[in-house]
Amino acid sequence: HSIDLYRAREEIIKQLNLCFGDVRDYNGGMIDRQNRLLSAFKALCSQMKDQHEILMEKFFFAIRPQEMRAMLDPQHLKNLFILLLNTLSKEQSSKLVSDNLMIKQENKIVYAVVKDEQKKVLSYFKSQGVSFRLICFSLIELGQPFSGFILRGEDKKTQEQFLTLLKGNFKEK
């Protein structure tokens, strides 16, 4: 036997609404938004979905803070995921800073993927006396830890500080 939890939840909410009037399903609403974002992300990455679907889901559910899995722009997810794929394959491009760091910078957003544990990267920032409002992921793939970061909407000075610290910590040894 199997059950579609999404449909079951919808039916329960419908019945509760009939009995009690308007009922707010906060968690169900967040789950629905998360599922919609995952679907939109997969649709944007449709060309690579067949080859990387498991990694896409692993990546998506590793996004922190967790609320971002319901609110983030799917294009931002795609950009960070492509950076992860490029880091995994060590694809040579202008975005490759070292074997351990890949960066993509746009007008008001910076993406970075490092081949290291997230807690080590965040500890390094803390040891330098800085903190950033980051959207992160951390996962292990091919036996290696990978972490990714999105820095959004910060001023250019903060972006440059973020990039300088990353580049300084992950330069070729």
Say whether pLDDT at 47 is over 80.
yes
> What's the domain range around 160?
5-169
Say whether pLDDT at 61 is over 80.
yes
Burial-class residue 161 by CB neighbours within 10 Å (0-12, 13-18, 19+).
Answer: middle
The number of domains in the chain is 1
- The predicted-structure confidence for 72-102, as pLDDT tens digits, reads as follows 999 999 999 999 998 888 754 545 556 789 9
Q: In the 3-class helix/strand/coil scheme, how is 50-81 assigned residue by residue? A: HHHHHHHHHHHHCCECCCHHHHCCHHHHHHHH
Residue 34 · residue 70 · CB < 8 Å: yes
Longest dimension (CA), the chain: 66
Say whether pLDDT at 26 is over 80.
no
More confident residue, 145 or 26: 145
More confident residue, 58 or 22: 58
